[in-house]
């Protein structure tokens, strides 16, 4: 089974990097991306994705808000340039935290880990 991944980041640079990495990962089937956190919020409620990769620092609704609303229903991978946000993100229930800039290896490891949490299978494709 392949993952449906939602990527939310207000930076086009980080969003496009994550999209490119997602397209090369064999466990990701579909990727839907949002620059606007409110558009993502609406979509997450209706689409019920399997995994969300969300920036923490966004205008309007930030990544912590997403975790508070959806973290108990959807595995979230929180992302930020600031490592100091990791403890709060984990406390709010993120499945993993990935610090920007992240490498392909780090991205793949995070996706593999979340896949394992969801399906109880190890799937390393680094």
| CATH number of 10's domain | 3.40.50.2300
- Give the CB-side neighbour count of residue 14, counting CA atoms within 13 A: 23
Contact at 8 Å (CB) between 77 and 54?
yes
Evaluate whether residue 81 is within a structural domain: yes
Mean pLDDT of 38-47: 93
Instruction: Tell me the pLDDT tens digit for each residue of 66-119.
Output: 999 988 889 999 999 999 999 999 999 999 999 999 999 999 999 999 999 999
DSSP 8-state class, residue 27: T
Whose structure tokens read 């966004």?
58
Tell me: pLDDT of 122 over 90.
no
Average pLDDT over residues 40-53: 93
In the chain, the number of structural domains is 1
pLDDT at 11 over 50: yes
Q: Is residue 126 part of a domain?
A: no
Residue 18 lies in a domain: yes
Q: Quick check: is 80 in a domain?
A: yes
Look at residue 121 in the predicted model and tell me its pLDDT.
66
CA angle 108, 52, 57 (to 5 degrees): 100
Residue 107: domain span: 3-119
Is 44 strand, coil or helix?
helix
């Amino acid at each position: 089974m392949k993952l449906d991944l939602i990527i939310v980041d207000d930076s086009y640079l980080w969003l496009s990097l994550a999209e490119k990495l997602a397209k090369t990962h064999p466990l990701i089937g579909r990727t839907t991306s949002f620059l606007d956190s409110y558009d993502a919020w609406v979509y997450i409620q209706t689409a019920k994705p399997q995994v969300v990769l969300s920036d923490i620092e966004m205008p309007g609704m930030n990544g912590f808000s997403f975790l508070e609303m959806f973290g108990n229903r959807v595995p979230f991978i929180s992302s930020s340039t600031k490592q100091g946000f990791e403890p709060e993100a984990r406390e709010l229930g993120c499945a993993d935290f990935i610090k920007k800039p992240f490498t392909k290896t780090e991205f793949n490891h995070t996706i593999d880990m979340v896949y394992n949490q969801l399906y109880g299978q190890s799937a390393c494709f680094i």
